[in-house]
Structure 1
Amino acid sequence: MPDFPIKFSLGGVSYGTIWSQFFPPKATLTEKNLPSQKGKIFIVTGGSSGIGYELSKILYGAGGKVYILTRSEKNAIQAISEIKDAFQGRDSKDVGELIFVHMDLEDLDSVRSAASEFLAKEEELHILFNNAGVASVPAHKKTKQGLEYHIGVNTVGHVLLQSLLTPILAETATNNPKDSVRAIWAASLLVEMGAPPGGVLVDQLDNPSTDINEHYSASKTANWFAATEFARRSGPQTGVVTVAVNPGTYVTNVWRTCPWYLYYPFWPLLRFPIQGAYTNMWAAFSDEVGMDDAVAGRYGMCDGRWHPGQRDDLLLALKSKDEGGTGQAKALFEWCEEKVKPYVTL
């Protein structure tokens, strides 16, 4: 479904573009036509439920070695068992491996430990899926390092994880086809519908308001900003393509902390998590995605296509002040770097 040719817009984003994220065109890359991933190694954060679970299942079925980084060992073991059961009868040579690594994104020490455990086991990493996230967490709840919970878990934890894994991603890129080694970040429809002016109120990150809906939207915008900054700062040098995508709106555990009055109005529009996995697969494997797109800060949409143009204030935030922008993406990333600085050495 193309962007509707109508004039109505939300900060420069047409209502047709928003509509098409609730009712996207059919995905072109699914488990039915994904090539074999034998010999490839993946990390999926939050891989024991929702979109991460479906993504792990598809990659395992295609022969990939999938590391599920999540905080609940019980949930991870159950997910791994269910995925393997779904492929009973298949030759073991055709499927991959599933490995649990404990990681709690609300604790940067835990993120560092998870990265260290992975690096002790592997010498390659082909795709990093920064998939895990939380929503509508009470304003009083903070991460172990005292950060606002949404930005701490959704963004800062993943900034640390990718920072620690950039060397292995870069090394993998030297031995694989150009632009095939990637890091995929999870954004949201609320980037355009709910983020504050400029996407992230950087000057309030250390002293946030109590508006949890704003915090969630800002954290998802921050994910896009962080992906773009990774691409610009190290992409061409490392060969690692980093992009953000809105996987869509689905029935997943992210709703478990949301008030009923936010959940039930959306319920008729929610889709199945496997369709969110298709968006991630497009970002990870499609030839439509490359380094130039990542450096430009392009933003993907469900179920595998480029957003035709985000909110004007968000596009300005991606630009530095020297380029005529506001520099908010750069400021956000540098704030994240400062928070993870004590943890970037393994």
Structure 2
Amino acid sequence: MTPIPPDLRGRRGRDRFWVTVDAVLKGVQRVRMMREPVVPSVRPVDRSLRLIVLEVRREVEDVVSLRLGAPDGGVLPRWQPGCHLDVLLPSGRRRQYSLCGDPADRRAYRIAVRRLPGGGGGSVEIHEALVEGMTITAAGPRNAFPFLARDRYLFLAGGIGITPILPMVQAAHLLGADWRLVYTGRTSGSLPFLDELAGLPAERIAVRADDERGMPDGAGLLRGARPGTAVYCCGPAPMIDAVRAAFVPDGTSSLHFERFAPPPVTGGRPFEVELRRSGLTLRVPADRTALDVIRDALPDVAYSCRQGFCGTCRTGLLAGTADQRAQADPDGDAMLICVSRATGGRLTLDL
């Protein structure tokens, strides 16, 4: 074979055979790249917030408010009236708390929590374990109770239900809307943030204590609501149920509400849950949720809102058909045990 002579610069020339092979291989590679979509690498986005407790303030006897800020004093994500934070407590409990501060203040969030000794332990932990300077993790803000632009509002708040309502009242006032607030509670001394409401027109606010005027009924709370009124209600379950029963849609008015406690079980049938990993089979009666029954056996099972929107109690469904009362999984292989039930006699869960 005749050797390939060097070029004018003394470099060895390339063999024509290997030049051809290289060109063919590059062509094949280009064709494959055109036919096969390029899948970019996906990096998980951490949407959690590290927050420092800036202030703990006792608002009334059993209610404390917490001001939370970024550890570096930076700007926090925006929020609107009705938003809440998912707070991860030091114990591992995850709870939702409405933001009740000023949306224009980008340096601090404020939440308020009433102590409920007979509850799930989150409120007690807030009162006893969280102190100024402590760092916690949260997610959000999220809005499950959106404040809509309307010309006329009636706000109904019961006790700690004032927390999502307070920023709405202040926003309605700034917008120049026609608004009224009815604020109820066991006693006047149990109602937080009365000092902040004192800065608003007194003729638009009715504060009524049960020990002075008796328990209000739904019709009484809605009295004076004119057509075209957007009614926003937050408070104890009996109050919300009474307002819902008394509200009469007229085609122009609307009712919006948020619960701090789970609604009663309706249309329930008894069924069994088999907990595969725990080796337990439990019976769920018609008037209880699967979560309630499972908690009796497994107190550490994860949960939060108990209303089917936060997703904390999402559990793998191994067998059986679930009555999905919340959006848990498009493929039907999971369920939210706080609200969903069985369509048949038994469900097998990955617990």
Structure with a larger share of its residues in strand: 2
**TM-score calculated relative to the size of structure 2:** 0.34
Structure with a larger share of its residues in helix: 1
Q: Which has the larger radius of gyration?
A: 2
Higher relative contact order (CA 8 A, sep 6+): 1
